[in-house]
Amino acid sequence: MKYRNRILIAYLLVMVAALFVLWMLSGQKALKKRDMVAYNDATHRICEDYLAGKSVAEIEAAHGCRIVLAGESEAEVTKTYAEYGLVVDFAPEGKVIGKILWSDVREESEELQHSTRRTILIFWGVMFVLGFAFLLTVDWFLLRPTREMRGLATEIAKGNLDVPLPIRKHNPFGNLVEGFDLMREELRASREREAEADKAKKELVAELAHDIKTPVATIRATCEVLEVKQQRRIEQDPQDADAQDVLAKTQTIAHKADMIETLVGSVFAATLEELDRIEVNPTEVGSTSIEEYFRNLRNYGNIILENPIPSCLVYMDRLRMEQVIDNVVGNSHKYAGTDIHVRFDEVTRKDREGAGASYIRIRIKDDGPGAPEEEIPLLMSKYYRGSTAKDKAGFGMGLYLVRSYMEKQGGGAEVYNDGGFVVSLYLRKV
């Protein structure tokens, strides 16, 4: 409302200025009355100059008149009458020999016309300046905010929700602009919440898909043991119906376990691209809890802890560290199938900034043939699978995730051959 009043006031000011100019135009002075005494005096001097022998042309130039002698064209006299000029008799010696003409009204009229034109031009110039100033005012206070809002709408349409809309004190659309900017902020917050929810969902799916593999592997291993036992019973007594029934059911369970593992693998593959975005939040944790992670892995053969872990605080994300250990030990069991040796040491190595720092090294080694030396540098790359893994199910993400999780905890990981395949994990001490 206040901006409507301002526009009205500006309009009234422009109209008052126009009225003032028009008033000045209408107040131009009227035609002056003739001073007949002056004209009579001029007539007397003209007669004296004529008698003194001056030519008509000289007299006309000196007195600003026109002398028409008798016998000359009367048309000019008639024209002077028509233009409200002054016509007097020219009688130097008392006898009229012609007419003296003054076109004073025409001259004054022409002067008045020129003055009026100048005034009109001035009036037009004033109106132009005021109108231009008015347009600039309207553009600054009314059109500029709409352009800014249009620009913001375009950025929002492009998906850019980080461009704020300036909120000015004298913006006539202040409430609208503020509401529009709040909408932008809410859209950005909503997008962030959606991204967080999507991230959490994918993280949960990845974790569940990974964690389901352990009980499925246990079921599969148990089925294999039961199959062997029932086959031995059937070999001893081919007519043992109970053994045959148990074997059939065991094989069904094993088949379903394989189906579950395939389905879980498909779900895991669908979330592989997002796994490296999973947050790792290391905190100060006692190192002795790591031994429990290894003791809880009962389905990966014989795990030998060669020495106790040094007691200290390390930077570690409990969940990610448990996944790392499960990954490494599970790979060793899958590809080597031997005893797994675990050793703990305190070592000093360079951190990311190049400075020396103290770490707990977890050395996990199997007794298998190891990996080809030319493949060692590639084993921790995303999607890379070594030549020894071609007949095994997998996606080439295990060791890649191991390295990623360890680095995000402030440590690191490395692989090499040393009488078997070795994975060394480094946790930084507090």
pLDDT tens digits, residue range 167-190?
A: 666 655 556 666 767 777 787 788
| Residues paired with 283 in a beta bridge | 316
In this structure, are 374 and 304 located in the same domain?
A: yes
What is the bridge-based pairing of β-strands 283-286 and 412-417? unpaired
| Residues paired with 360 in a beta bridge | 346, 427
Amino acid at 401: L
Pick the last residue of a domain from 277, 296, 317.
277
Residue 275 pLDDT greater than 70, yes or no: no
Q: Report yes or no: 94 and 86 within 8 Å, Cβ to Cβ.
A: no
In this structure, are 366 and 353 located in the same domain?
A: yes
pLDDT above 90 covers a percentage of the chain that reads 14
Looking at the 3D structure of the chain, how many domains does it have?
A: 4
Distance CA 279, CA 199 (A): 9
Any domain includes 184: no
- Residue 419's contacts (CB-CB under 8 Å, 6 or more residues apart) are 365, 367
State the pLDDT at residue 210: 65
Q: What angle do CA 221, 233, 260 make, to 5 degrees?
A: 25
Give the helix/strand (H/E) hosting 19.
helix 2-26
- For the ranges 20-24, 27-31, 296-300, 400-404, the lowest mean pLDDT is seen at 27-31
State the pLDDT at residue 314: 93
Give the helix/strand (H/E) hosting 224.
helix 174-236
In this structure, are 19 and 61 located in the same domain?
A: no
Any domain includes 427: yes
Q: Which residue has the higher pLDDT, 75 or 12?
A: 75
- For the ranges 284-293, 325-334, 366-375, 396-405, the lowest mean pLDDT is seen at 396-405
Confidence band of 1 (pLDDT split at 50, 70, 90): very low
The beta strands (E) that lie in 224-302 are given as: 283-286
Give the 3-state secondary structure of residue 252: helix
Q: Which of 67, 73, 70 is nearest to 103 (CA)?
A: 67
Whichever domain contains 412, its CATH number is 3.30.565.10
pLDDT tens digits, residue range 278-322?
A: 678 899 999 999 998 888 887 778 899 999 999 999 999 988 898
Any domain includes 372: yes
In this structure, are 224 and 319 located in the same domain?
A: no
In this structure, are 244 and 300 located in the same domain?
A: no
Any domain includes 234: yes
In this structure, are 6 and 133 located in the same domain?
A: yes
In this structure, are 234 and 340 located in the same domain?
A: no
In this structure, are 122 and 70 located in the same domain?
A: no
Q: Pick the most confident of 33-42, 181-190, 204-213, 419-428.
A: 419-428
- Residue 18's contacts (CB-CB under 8 Å, 6 or more residues apart) are 123, 127
State the pLDDT at residue 173: 59
pLDDT tens digits, residue range 72-110?
A: 777 888 888 787 788 888 888 888 888 888 887 766 666
| Residues paired with 366 in a beta bridge | 340
pLDDT tens digits, residue range 56-72?
A: 889 888 888 888 888 77
Any domain includes 182: no
CA–CA distances in Å: residue 31 to residues 24, 64, 112, 114, 306: 16, 19, 9, 14, 127
pTM reported for the whole predicted model: 0.44
State the pLDDT at residue 345: 93
Q: Which domain holds residue 203?
A: 191-277
Any domain includes 329: yes
pLDDT tens digits, residue range 110-131?
A: 677 777 777 777 877 877 787 7
Stretch 193-215: mean pLDDT, rounded?
72
Residue 263 pLDDT greater than 80, yes or no: no
Give the 3-state secondary structure of residue 347: strand
Residue keyed to tokens 């028409």:
68
- Residue 185's contacts (CB-CB under 8 Å, 6 or more residues apart) are none
Any domain includes 121: yes
In this structure, are 413 and 270 located in the same domain?
A: no
Distance CA 26, CA 142 (A): 37
Pick the last residue of a domain from 277, 307, 330.
277
Any domain includes 365: yes
In this structure, are 129 and 201 located in the same domain?
A: no
In this structure, are 246 and 313 located in the same domain?
A: no
The beta strands (E) that lie in 238-334 are given as: 283-286, 303-305, 313-316
In this structure, are 219 and 301 located in the same domain?
A: no
